[in-house]
Amino acid sequence: MRVTSDPGPWALGTGPPMAESRRWAAGERSALEFDPDRETAVDPLNIARWQFGITTVYHYLFVPITIGLAFLVALLETAWVRTRNPVYLRATKFWGKLLLINFAIGVVTGIVQEFQFGMNWSSYSRFVGDVFGAPLAMEALIAFFMESTFLGLWIFGWDKLSPRLHAACMWMVAIGTTASAYFILAANSFMQHPVGIEINPENGRPRLNDIGAVLFQPLQMITFSHVITACLVTGGVVMVSISSYFMARKRELGVFRPSLRLGLYALLIGSIGVIVTGDLQAKIMTEIQPMKMAAAEAQWVTKDNASFSVFTIGSLDGKHEVFSIRVPGLLSFMGTGSFDGTIEGINDLQAEYQEKFGPGDYVPNVPVTYWNFRLMVGAGGALLLVSIVGLWLTRKGRHPQQRWVWRLATWSVLGAFVGNSAGWIFTEMGRQPWTVFGLYRTADSVSPTVTAGEVLTSLIIFTVLYGILAVIEGKLMFKYAKAGPPTEADALASVERRPSDDSEDADRPLTFAY
């Protein structure tokens, strides 16, 4: 049996697959049993979920900066190679240094992600290993080797490689980081919408039978575009933010005016891309995970011409609305492309899923989903506005004098962090109670042999360690941002090549050293 778009039929009605019944027989709990103890804080499942949430959101604070900046630094270095205008070299050096500080932390927090599947989610790893491991291994082999090796060459190779080759190294880093995003998003898209599989009758687990479907399903293409444009937004707004700090103080305008304009254009292109792809994603999500979109609007009953609430005050569980501001028909339009389109309600979907998947609670945490959806959309819209206003105010060499303009531009970087984090929290929380939608539940995914004490230990260690790293990283970013770009003389000296035979020059200091 081959599954392409409908995740349903084999997951229902045929009784639990063998592997699952074996676990039930072993007395392990399942999502199907309503066990009140499961909700207590000391449950390994809850701790493991908190750990995954914290480490993933934290990891993703840095990743979009890396992906966005790597691309922008590659552009700046290419401009230097082609024009030989030292301003571009100074800009490359300045933004490159910030990229490196950020890159390191993105890499190390990424290792945790790969280990964590096996450590905390071993049942999940067993269940989906045949499908999920492949994109992860491809990511390591194709993307991680490329980005880390060429980054090493880029950092230490200024005086050893030709300028073209050196710039090419940064392009390889940019391509590597983008490829990495592609593979991990393919794995995530599989969790959102499992395709390219058949169910192994021996153990009830999915077996990969079409890698093309996993790597190129429409959801993946749209998600990748959405994430990459959001990375461009992030890289762009980081540039805008730091450039504005210098612009406000009229320091190093030669470097920061072009940087600001480049950042604003990246922000403009990126945020238009984010909105277009976000719209496409909402439509496909309405089709494949209607529950997520219903939860995004806290829409409990099915409606045609569904309105979108900009803001709601309601009860804590999101079940009762007290006050809201609504745009008529907008939700229907977002989900279906028509103002009269039908948006299914949570209650109807819950009933439908109970019939399909058996008794259980199929409703994600509605307030979390609802608010993160608004934060994501709001951040994207606000950043588009920043780019348009910014490009207008700085058109044809203009330099706004008002301090608040620059202050606002400097703080706008927070919009990217809010948007990126809220987007992931929305899409992952909105998929609950599933890890693989319609196939495998979060409650069944956790490692059965890892104790609550062990998970709590790692949760505390990671949280404390990540907290310390955030402080150090923040301090370094501020310090090196404030220090500004190198002087023209220093920048040019650092790219002076060593003679190939430097026997008489052996003691010449390295132009770059840690």
Partner 1 sequence: MDLNTLWFWLIAVLWTGYFVLEGFDFGVGALLRLVGRDERGKRVLINTIGPVWDGNEVWVITAGGAMFAAFPEWYATLFSGFYLPLLAILVCLIIRGVAFEYRAKGTTDRWRANWDRAILVTSILPAFLWGVAFGNIISGVPLDVDHEFAGTVLDLLNPFALLMGLTTLLLFVTHGAVFLSLKTTLEVRDRARKLAVTLGSATVVSLAAVLIWRQFRGGNTGTAGLAVLSVVGAVAAVMLTRAGRDGWAFTATAVAVLTLVAGWFVGLFPNVLPSTTEVLGTLDIHNAASSPYTLTLMSWVALFFVPFVLGYQAWTYWVFRKRIGTKQIPMPVHTDH
Residue numbers 16-35 binding partner 1 by CB under 8 A: 22-23, 26
Q: In the range 152-181, which residues lie near partner 1 by CB under 8 A? A: 152-153, 155-157, 160-161
215 token code pair: 């790597």
Comparing CB distances to partner 1, the nearer of 162 and 315 is: 162
- Taking the C-alpha atoms of residue 148 and residue 155, their distance in angstroms, rounded to an integer, is 11
How near is the Cβ of 367 to partner 1 at its closest, in Å?
Answer: 32
Q: In the range 262-321, which residues lie near partner 1 by CB under 8 A? A: none
Comparing CB distances to partner 1, the nearer of 148 and 350 is: 148
Q: SS3 for 3-46, per residue?
A: ECCCCCHHHCCCCCCHHHHHHHHCCCCCCCCCCHHHHCCCCHHH
Binder among 80, 132, 190, 256 for partner 1 (CB under 8 A): 132
How near is the Cβ of 108 to partner 1 at its closest, in Å?
Answer: 4
Binder among 129, 329, 360, 400 for partner 1 (CB under 8 A): 129
Comparing CB distances to partner 1, the nearer of 142 and 393 is: 142
Does position 56 interact with partner 1 (CB under 8 A)? The reply is no
Q: In the range 454-513, which residues lie near partner 1 by CB under 8 A? A: 454, 457-458, 461, 465, 469, 472-473, 476, 479-480, 482-484, 506-511, 513
388 token code pair: 């348009």
Q: Helix, strand, or coil here: 1? A: coil
Q: Is 311 exposed, middle or buried, given 0-12, 13-18 or 19+ CB atoms closer than 10 A?
A: exposed
303 token code pair: 């409606």
Comparing CB distances to partner 1, the nearer of 323 and 514 is: 514
CB 280 within 8 A of CB 246: no
Comparing CB distances to partner 1, the nearer of 216 and 339 is: 216
Q: What character string, x for contact with partner 1 (CB under 8 A) and - otherwise, covers 176-215? A: ------------------------x------xxx-x----
How near is the Cβ of 371 to partner 1 at its closest, in Å?
Answer: 31
Comparing CB distances to partner 1, the nearer of 135 and 236 is: 135
Phi, then psi, of 159 in degrees rounded to 5: -100, 5
Comparing CB distances to partner 1, the nearer of 187 and 429 is: 187
Strand pairing partners for 452? none
Task: Tell me, by CB under 8 A, how many residues bind partner 1.
Answer: 81
CB atoms near residue 125 (< 10 Å): 17
- Taking the C-alpha atoms of residue 221 and residue 182, their distance in angstroms, rounded to an integer, is 9
Comparing CB distances to partner 1, the nearer of 12 and 461 is: 461
How near is the Cβ of 114 to partner 1 at its closest, in Å?
Answer: 6
32 token code pair: 């199907």
Phi, then psi, of 484 in degrees rounded to 5: 80, 180
Cα atoms in the Cβ-side hemisphere of radius 13 Å centred on 461? 9
Phi, then psi, of 204 in degrees rounded to 5: 70, 15
Comparing CB distances to partner 1, the nearer of 133 and 400 is: 133
- Taking the C-alpha atoms of residue 379 and residue 417, their distance in angstroms, rounded to an integer, is 9
Comparing CB distances to partner 1, the nearer of 16 and 314 is: 16
User: Which residue is associated with the tokens 């770059």?
Assistant: 512
How near is the Cβ of 404 to partner 1 at its closest, in Å?
Answer: 26
Q: Helix, strand, or coil here: 287? A: helix
Cα atoms in the Cβ-side hemisphere of radius 13 Å centred on 298? 26
95 token code pair: 């933004």
Q: In the range 328-347, which residues lie near partner 1 by CB under 8 A? A: none
Q: In the range 109-128, which residues lie near partner 1 by CB under 8 A? A: 109, 111-112, 114-115, 117-120, 122-123, 125-126, 128
Comparing CB distances to partner 1, the nearer of 201 and 328 is: 201
Does position 217 interact with partner 1 (CB under 8 A)? The reply is no
Comparing CB distances to partner 1, the nearer of 26 and 322 is: 26
CB 444 within 8 A of CB 23: yes
How near is the Cβ of 448 to partner 1 at its closest, in Å?
Answer: 6
Q: In the range 396-455, which residues lie near partner 1 by CB under 8 A? A: 447-450, 454
Task: Choose the stretch contacting partner 1; rule: CB under 8 A; options: 77-85, 132-140, 305-313, 315-323.
Answer: 132-140
Q: Any idea of the CA torsion for 465, 470, 472, 477, to the nearest 10 degrees?
A: 160
Q: What character string, x for contact with partner 1 (CB under 8 A) and - otherwise, covers 58-97? A: ----------------------------------------
Nearest to 255 by CA among 81, 400, 76, 411: 76
Name all contacts of 482-485 with Cβ < 8 Å and 24+ positions apart. Answer: 482/245, 484/94, 484/246, 484/251, 484/252, 484/255, 485/90, 485/91, 485/93, 485/94, 485/252, 485/255
How near is the Cβ of 457 to partner 1 at its closest, in Å?
Answer: 7
Q: In the range 136-155, which residues lie near partner 1 by CB under 8 A? A: 136-142, 144-146, 148-153, 155
User: Which residue is associated with the tokens 């430097």?
Assistant: 502
How near is the Cβ of 213 to partner 1 at its closest, in Å?
Answer: 12
Binder among 100, 253, 330, 391 for partner 1 (CB under 8 A): 100
- Taking the C-alpha atoms of residue 507 and residue 513, their distance in angstroms, rounded to an integer, is 14
CB 8 within 8 A of CB 438: yes
How near is the Cβ of 42 to partner 1 at its closest, in Å?
Answer: 17
Comparing CB distances to partner 1, the nearer of 57 and 469 is: 469
Counts of helices then strands in the chain (DSSP H, E): 18, 8
